[in-house]
Amino acid sequence: MRILFLIFFCFFFFIFYEGLKKDPKEIPSNLISKKIPEFNLKGFNSSEMTNYDLYKSEIKIINFFASWCPPCQIEHEQLMHLSKKNSVFGIAKKNQLDELSSWLKRLGNPYTKIGMDLEGDVSIDWGVYGLPETFIVDEEGIIKYKHVGPIMKRDLKELESVIKNLR
Amino acid sequence: MKYIIIFMSLFFLQANSIEPDEMLEDTRLEKIAREIGKELRCLVCQNEDIQNSNADIAKDLRKIVRKKLLNGESKKQIIDYIHSRYGDFVLFSPPIRIDTFGLWLLPIIFFFFLTFLIFRK
């Protein structure tokens, strides 16, 4: 009987101990290993941005951001760094063109192309629940990785190794 | 008494965060939208449904639910769509699958185990 109780105790201890290590605010993406959702957005520096822009034969970083979101400003420097060697696409959520324009003038523009998600519907289609969120998409348009929250300097190593492994 | 009324009004206000401009004119569809809203968990406030949450994402989800209802989609189709985007976390009752079986089975096992412990003598 005691052994049975001990097994039960160890089992629950292990489950709860593992649970403690997880971040409750981070919800795993349901779109990993799936094709990018279809979308057609008004472009910021182009007439439009669609899912077809993300099918080009290279690894792409897709960043959901907004000029009104303070953590997006924190990660901006890291995006500038990543854009030196990678294509970074932006989807600006509920952002006015003029506000975004002055924000990018001030901080620099790391984006190859920006889509204006004025209603926020495309963000929902990508399973985005907060800003910023960043996806890495492979050459065939399959979502391979998702980073929730601002990309900090300490995250660069992991992101770069994911990109390196996909190449 | 005055304070009790104010307190109670606040309680009822909190019970439903939906704003007047979000509501559908068709009362039948609005009723379905509210039913859907109660089945979906707000992703940033964790133990609140999207119907009762003031978070931006909850507002966006309420809006998309209504948009899809107006496009003629059914309750199941809409819940399936949001489930496909946000995973099991967004549902208050996760589906019964092999990987979620433990969630449903463990409380029963635990209940029988405790009952056995209490009544074994």
C-alpha closest to that of A135 among A84, A66, A65: A65
Interatomic CA distance for residues A118 and A9, integer angstroms: 51
Say how many domains are in chain A. 1
Interatomic CA distance for residues A99 and A68, integer angstroms: 8
C-alpha closest to that of B68 among B84, B55, B54, B56: B84
Give, as one character, the DSSP assignment of residue A38: P
Q: Is A27–B86 a contact, with Cβ atoms under 8 angstroms apart?
A: yes
Pair (B8, B64) in one structural domain? yes
The dihedral built from the CA positions of residue B114, B116, B117 and B121, taken in this order, carries a sign that is positive
The pLDDT value given to residue B62: 96
The pLDDT value given to residue A69: 95
Residues of A with CB under 8 A from a CB of B: 1, 5, 8, 24-25, 27-31, 119-121, 123-127, 129-130
Contacts of B57 in chain A (CB under 8 A): 129-130
Pair (B67, B111) in one structural domain? no
Confidence grade of residue B9 (pLDDT, cut at 50, 70, 90): low
Q: Is B61 on the interface with A (CB under 8 A)?
A: yes
Collapsing DSSP to helix, strand or coil, A26 comes out as coil
The pLDDT value given to residue A16: 81
**Is residue A3 situated within a structural domain?**
no
**Is residue A125 situated within a structural domain?**
yes
pLDDT tens, A31-85? Answer: 999 999 999 999 998 889 999 999 877 899 999 999 999 999 999 999 999 999 9
What is the CATH classification number for the domain harbouring A136? 3.40.30.10
* CA angle, A162 then B42 then A35, to 5°: 35
What's the rounded mean pLDDT across residues B55-59? 93
Contacts of A130 in chain B (CB under 8 A): 43-44, 57
DSSP assignment of A142-162: BEEEEEES---GGGHHHHHHH
pLDDT tens, B25-51? Answer: 899 999 999 999 999 999 988 689 999
**Is residue A20 situated within a structural domain?**
no
Half-sphere exposure of A87 (CA within 13 A, CB side): 15
Q: Is B87 on the interface with A (CB under 8 A)?
A: yes
